[in-house]
Amino acid sequence: MSGPVPTDLLGEMYAQWIAEMTKYPDMSIDLLRIIFEDWSRATAEPENVTYKETTIGGVPGILVTPIVSDSSQILVLMHGGGFALGSASTHRKLAGHLAKALGTHAFVADFRLAPETRFPGQLEDGVSILDALVADGYDIANITPVGDSAGANLAIGMVQMLKDAGKPLPAQVITMSPWLNMENNGETLASNNDTDFLIAPEGLQGNIDRYLVDSSLWTHPLANPLYADFSDFPRLYICASSHESLFDNAVQLDKRARAAGVDVTFSVGEGQQHVYPLLAGRHDRADEEIALIADWYRAGRSAH
């Protein structure tokens, strides 16, 4: 019996990847990484944006500079891919659309990947970038951590690490389809299994095992932000799809952050796929989400 059919490019890509991974279940991490480089195909090339490969805080990545932008404001984008896949190249165009809409620069980090580097190495790379930008003269309030999927986990964890160290915090954090639950449960893993063309519990567990050395870390607040203390956390933007398997992660993040008094905006993409803003320039709902993020960003800045 055939299941649902993808209705957009991202869903088609995800279904194609899963078909190949199912056909070759023993695929190496190197081949998986090659497949996930295809992520960049989802996003249209934004106009009037330039890119430069560089290093910040010892971490390589891509500096994204819209022609019209404020050089004093920068996004630090931590890409998705389960801590093990994806790259600055897969997400540079998404960063271009975001930076252009928000009127900022952006740096897409090529942080170290699992399993070669495990928790908390990826977080340490992110904090190194933030510290280096501050040392270079950026106001921390003008540095915005951004992350999708596992990268959203990192964006939140980086801020928690700054807080634990008693350092000043960014003014805002942006998350897209966050993957936070390292216990690999949540009701939408099952209820949305047929409408999410990428995420399955088995694949998530594989990435958890690559990232975390053992199950004792599944509830560590820096590995699983659903166990974090959100008191004094910056204003937070969450977007996630009602049809994705990780939707429950976004719901729980919204609930826990609000309970701690965080200023949270939660945008739901009805019927979309995991990290649907990657369709920027190709899909009206992705473009709408980026416009919503830009409005939220500007509103927050004008309030201070």
Low-confidence ranges of the chain (pLDDT < 70): 1-2, 304
| The predicted structure's pLDDT at residue 1 | 35
| The predicted structure's pLDDT at residue 302 | 85
Domains and CATH numbers, the chain: 9-302 (3.40.50.1820)
Q: Is the peptide bond before 120 cis (omega within 30 degrees of 0)?
A: yes
- Are 114 and 33 a contacting pair, CB within 8 Å? no
| The predicted structure's pLDDT at residue 4 | 86
| The predicted structure's pLDDT at residue 61 | 99
| The predicted structure's pLDDT at residue 44 | 98
| The predicted structure's pLDDT at residue 2 | 57
Q: Quick one: which H or E segment has residue 251? A: helix 247-259
| The predicted structure's pLDDT at residue 193 | 95
Instruction: Specify the amino acid at residue 21.
Output: M
Q: Which two tokens stand for residue 211?
A: 């990232």
DSSP string over 91-157: HHHHHHHHHHHHTEEEEEE----TTTS-TTHHHHHHHHHHHHHHHTT--GGGEEEEEETHHHHHHHH
For residue 54, the cross-strand partners are 61
Residue 75's SS3 state is strand
Query: What is each CA distance from 29 to 25, 80, 277, in whole angstroms?
Result: 11, 15, 25
| The predicted structure's pLDDT at residue 304 | 67
Beta strands, E only, the chain: 49-56, 59-66, 70-78, 104-109, 143-148, 172-176, 235-241, 264-269
Q: What is the pTM of this model?
A: 0.98
Backbone φ and ψ for 146, nearest 5 degrees, come out as: -130, 140
